[in-house]
Amino acid sequence: MTHRHILLNKPYDVICQFSDAKGGRNTLADFVSVLDVYPVGRLDRDSEGLVLLTSDGWLQHRLSDPRYDHPKTYWAQVEGLPTEAALEHLRTGVQVWEDFKTRHASVRLLDTEPALPPRDPPIRYRAAIPTAWIEIVLTEGRNRQVRRMTAAVGFPTLRLIRAAIGQLKLGTLAPGESRELTPEEAAYITPLSSLARVPKMKRDVRRRSR
């Protein structure tokens, strides 16, 4: 069976599903007309960036389940200028719920603002409070985890972009734009779909990245 794989730059204020039970909200169907593809993990309505849509159910599971340690890269614009101590706290693990401490993560302060189109609507602007961009690479995820992590160390997230899923990158995709995988990207995806399943973790399986 030949599967379809689509990359989408999900805009702000779009729910990461193809239908809206509540009605009146923008969904993935407003941007992608390909049938029988489903998002790998989810992005919150107020988050933006890379979404992989696939018709391969096993690949969808393989890239979403934290048992497989598949990295996802996020760019977070935060309020304030993070200290090295705050960045190290994010790297080593943050207690974001009473029963949940984040795994070790790769975290760095970006030297320059990513080349991104302005958000519509724009983030709130405060002349007296600077902002900064940090890159966070996670291999796990719970609902709004990145936002909870940065808030826990004192630097709330103002804007959140998923920049990469493994070796699949957002690149120059404009908000709302989608495309098929390149041959190189397809070559990266194909082996992942055929990998064997791994035993279930003894600890609780964590929910998908948001």
Domain CATH code at residue 50: 3.30.2350.10
Q: Is 44 a catalytic residue?
A: yes
Query: Residue 143: what pLDDT?
Result: 85
pLDDT at position 210 is: 46
pLDDT of residue 185: 95
Give the pLDDT of residue 197. 54
9: in domain = yes
**204/187 Cα distance (integer angstroms):** 32
Residue 208 in any domain: the answer is no
Position 154 scores a pLDDT of: 97
Give the mean model confidence (pLDDT) for residues 59-72. Answer: 87
Q: 163 vs 126, which has greater pLDDT?
A: 163
**Could you give phi then psi for residue 150, rounded to 5 degrees?**
-70, -35
Answer whether residue 79 shows pLDDT above 90.
yes
Residue 209 has pLDDT above 50, yes or no: no
Q: Which domain holds residue 149?
A: 5-194
- Asked if residue 130 lies in contact with residue 51, where contact means CB atoms within 8 angstroms, the answer is no
pLDDT (average), residues 89-113: 93
Q: Which one of 13, 30, 36, 44 is the catalytic residue?
A: 44
Q: How many domains does the chain have?
A: 1
Tell me the helices (H) and strands (E) count for the chain, helix number first: 4, 13
Assess if residue 26 is contained within a domain: yes
Q: Residue count of the chain, please give it.
A: 210
CA gyration radius for the chain?
A: 17
Residue found by looking up tokens 């291999």 in the block: 139
Task: Note whether residue 132 is domain-resident.
Answer: yes
Residue 204 lies in a domain: no
Please report the pLDDT score of residue 7 as a whole number: 98
pLDDT for position 94: 94
- With respect to residue 199, please indicate whether it lies within any of the assigned structural domains: no
pLDDT in tens, 113-125: 999 999 989 998 8
CA distances from 27 to 1, 17, 18, 208 (A): 27, 6, 5, 19
Q: Please state, for a pLDDT cut of 70, what percent of the chain lies above it.
A: 92
pLDDT at 208 over 80: no
Instruction: Answer yes or no: is 201 within a domain.
Output: no
Determine which helix (DSSP H) or strand (DSSP E) holds 35, and give its type and residue range: none
Report, as an integer, the average pLDDT of 69-97. Answer: 95
In a domain, 210, yes or no: no
